[in-house]
């Protein structure tokens, strides 16, 4: 399974400039997802420095994990897409090895460590070409979306 930007925007509530996934190239259900972020000098976070801030690399991993969590549409293991909220709970063992600069294409690989209906743990790695630039373990919660007050 692969996803273009339109399909990604249907699944995630994020919008520019905080949507940090441009394309999903591969999803292996119950195992991993591979996503792409094209880093541009025009990205607003690049004006503060000349590299992608480390917290945004981890946020991109979390967004990829959220997309991964709904890859098994129709299963009963988690709430359905559009009927759930995905919360980023924590980061462990984050390592930032090399800066990510404009012109780089960030390949984000997120592997499932533990999946359950409510709490999920993932191991994320970010690469530029085939060189590891960052990695982290992330913890996320999946909850039913609150009903609209309207």
Query: Cα separation of 57 and 140, whole Å?
Result: 16
Active-site residue, 14 included: no
Cα-based distances in Å from 90 to 48, 93, 109: 25, 10, 18
* CA proximity to 122, closest of 80, 69, 73, 70: 69
| 86, 89, 95, 96 alpha-carbon torsion, rounded to 10° | 60
Catalytic hit among 50, 98, 117, 143: 50
The number of beta carbons lying within 10 Å of the beta carbon of residue 142 is: 20
- What tokens were used for 10? 């249907």
Residue 17: cis peptide before it, omega within 30 degrees of 0: yes
* CA proximity to 52, closest of 125, 110, 102: 102
Query: Which amino acids are annotated catalytic?
Result: 50
């Amino acid at each position: 399974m692969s996803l273009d930007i339109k399909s990604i925007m249907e699944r995630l509530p994020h919008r520019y400039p905080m949507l940090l996934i441009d394309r999903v190239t591969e999803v292996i259900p119950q195992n991993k997802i591979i996503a792409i972020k094209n880093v541009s000098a025009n990205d607003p976070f690049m004006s503060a420095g000349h590299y992608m801030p480390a917290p945004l690399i981890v946020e991109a991993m979390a967004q990829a994990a959220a997309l991964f969590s709904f890859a098994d549409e129709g299963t009963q293991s988690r709430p359905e897409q559009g009927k759930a909220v995905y919360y980023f709970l924590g980061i462990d063992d984050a390592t930032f090895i090399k800066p990510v600069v404009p012109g780089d294409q960030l390949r984000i690989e997120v592997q499932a460590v533990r999946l359950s209906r409510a709490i999920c743990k993932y191991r994320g790695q970010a690469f530029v070409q085939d060189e590891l630039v960052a990695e982290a373990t992330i913890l996320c919660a999946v909850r039913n979306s609150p009903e609209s007050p309207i």
